[in-house]
Amino acid sequence: MKVIKRNGSEAVFDKAKIANAIRKASDSAEEALRLPEATIQGITDTVTARCEELGRAVSVEEIQDKVEYGLMEAGYFDVARLYIRYRYQRYLVRRANTTDARVLSLIECNNEEVKQENANKNPIVNSVQRDYMAGELSRDITARLLLPPDIVEADKAGIIHFHDADYYAQHMHNCDLVNLEDMLQNGTVISGTLIEKPHSFSTACNIATQIIAQVASNQYGGQSISLTHLAPFVQVSREKIRREVLQEAETLGGSKDPEAIEKVVAERLHEEIQRGVQTIQYQVITLLTTNGQAPFLTVFMYLDEARNPQEKKDLALIIEEVLRQRYEGVKNEAGVWITPAFPKLIYVLDEDNIREGTEYWELTKLAAKCTAKRMVPDYISAKVMRKLKVDKNGEGHVYTCMGCRSFLTPYVDPETNQPKYYGRFNQGVVTLNLVDVALSSGGDEEKFWELMDERLELCHRALRLRHERLRGTLSDAAPILWQYGALARLKKGETIDKLLYGGYSTISLGYAGLYECVKYMTGRSHTDPEIGMPFGLKVMKCLNEATARWKAAECIDYSLYGTPLESTTYKFAKCLQDRFGVIPGITDKSYITNSYHINVREEIDAFSKLRIESQFQQLSPGGAISYVEVPDMQDNLEAVLSLMQFIYENIMYAELNTKSDYCQVCGYDGEIAIVEEDGKLLWECPHCHNRDQSKMNVARRTCGYIGTQYWNQGRTQEIRDRVLHL
């Protein structure tokens, strides 16, 4: 068993240290009050057993809490009082330099918690360390000076999660849909340099990657672009290439046969598209932004977004090349093709590509092939989305999420009376721990709803703080976003305030642990149609009603969001165990279930899972994604296509999870295993038993996106526990 020290570093659990601490507290008491040695050993054994029961690494604070309880249970209240007093004195000493200690542990790379905080950040790299160091200072300032004590304490206790507190001190927003069309067609400014409309497809792709990097450095969430915005430049390149070929033919006295000319043009255009797509893929995964990771980018592929038949055909050429290059993968340092984490790809299923015989069926088959090998693209059903995303004019729309799952709500520009999505953004997220609400109620339904109202108001106040932090922000804070087209074309010195109201941007109430909440309150999973499901849907409707009330009262677009817990799933689980103990089926794991998802251990087939979860996804208008866990499907593309067709008919947004790993020591190309040793989960090659994480490539979908830098113990346990749905 491992112990997480206060600075985040890891040590081996040593029960002798517990006994020594109890003995010192006992020795400081009057002789008549001291503990016999047998009692000291007994309390030590009890504390050790309770730590082992948790099935994970324990923190020093958790151990000390259990020592206090042990002393009081044994009736040694005076010694317990001395022990508590000593803890408090040490706390006052540490309080002055806790942040310093954590920063130093980051520099020395021995902070285990931070190492596993983000599955796409390498904590050894200087730029990541710099971001984490800045984050520690920002988080400290936020907790001490910027947030009310009750919000800080609720976050610390795992009652809520105040997302991205390490960025809160700055006036930064969460995620967005980049208006790439405006920036490419009308020009933009990057680092004080005017970038005019590009004159070729490859140049447009190069500019796009520069825009992506700049945007990523001025926000803290995900961003999305549409390939449709690049499609017009295919025709620009086609015309340019045709002129060049005709000129060459004239100069060299070659054939001017139209058919021969067009063949050469098509070949060179294909090469141009290859270069442009490769530029996006390689630059995105090799760029490091100011937060020390590749831009969290989503690329949207929707054929019906094209404005004319030729543009649609050109868009199909780009999509095909993106899928081909992603299927191939990228080479790791050993020269082996592996699965990259970014960019995330989303492919829209529609009437022109969903069935054999439709115009773009071959493109869909290529998407299925890519998914089976590389876990992308994910899929949006145009059919379902048009029914769910209806604007005030009564029109349904299809558009991409911002990053991995955060969706804007339908919006009609009051000036043009036309729908608008690109150039909009999310202000931030606060997540409610539904499991904590249930356990705090003790299973009493009346108390549950009373607590729900109280916790929702707590979240509401926290969300208002996020909103107020952005209000008054000058466009000068991030010119690429607010002045040069990524999100707006505001004047210098103008505030972004008008973009924070009226539905232009959203702000998200997140939720997590619906499964455990329903299980505790009803004794059933929310897959149970008679008891569990109705209660789960009632919870979701309650959350939606709250956001609707806030929106109507304040003209701020609050929206319900299925939170993609990464490190927070571990945090919530530990807090629940500390507050309520180990409850079988509820708090006996080192994670809680994401959003409305069916528990990862529940045996259910892929089609039933998607059908049931679709009901809950509809009630997460601010964003959510469902997944099914599948084995290697590369030799069973028919099954992949069947799942895609089921998605089209039944659920708005879904993905398939498979495994894509490689061991650099022995060349094993398969699933890297998760093994347990001394209470800690480790990654191990099943062939050569290599456990050196720097010598293996592991890719897993964790929260709607692919992670490649490993995960904390809670998320690792969740990955290990997943059952196959197909």
The string of pLDDT tens digits covering residues 466-480 is: 999 999 999 999 999
Angle subtended by helix axes 532-554 and 606-617, to nearest 10: 30
Q: pLDDT tens digit string along 548-561?
A: 999 999 999 999 99
Asked whether the predicted pLDDT for residue 511 surpasses 60, the reply is yes
Asked whether the predicted pLDDT for residue 387 surpasses 90, the reply is yes
Angle, CA of 577, 560 and 182, to the nearest 5°: 130
Q: pLDDT tens digit string along 288-346?
A: 555 556 788 999 999 999 999 999 999 999 999 999 999 999 988 888 888 888 899 99
The verdict on whether omega for the bond into residue 343 sits within 30 degrees of 0, i.e. cis, is yes
Residue carrying structure tokens 């390498």: 122
Once rounded to an integer, what is the mean pLDDT over residues 79-104?
65
Once rounded to an integer, what is the mean pLDDT over residues 347-376?
97
Once rounded to an integer, what is the mean pLDDT over residues 440-444?
98
pLDDT value of position 707: 80
Once rounded to an integer, what is the mean pLDDT over residues 220-236?
96
Residue carrying structure tokens 């058919």: 259
The tokens describing 567, both together, are: 């490190």
- The answer to pTM > 0.75 is yes
Asked whether the predicted pLDDT for residue 107 surpasses 70, the reply is no
Q: pLDDT tens digit string along 667-696?
A: 998 899 999 988 889 999 999 999 998 899
Beta-carbon contacts of residue 66 (< 8 Å; ≥ 6 apart): 46, 47, 50, 51
- What amino acid positions are annotated as catalytic residues? 174-175, 402, 404, 406, 426, 561, 566, 704
Distance of alpha carbon 566 from alpha carbon 573, whole angstroms = 12
Closest CA to 654 of 669, 665, 641, 643: 643
Going from N- to C-terminal start, the domains of the chain cover 1-96, 295-410+625-652
- Residue 256 pLDDT level (bands cut at 50, 70, 90): confident
The tokens describing 78, both together, are: 């005076």
DSSP secondary structure letters along 338-391: E----SEEEEEE-TTTSSTTSTTHHHHHHHHHHHHHH---EEEEHHHHHHH-B-
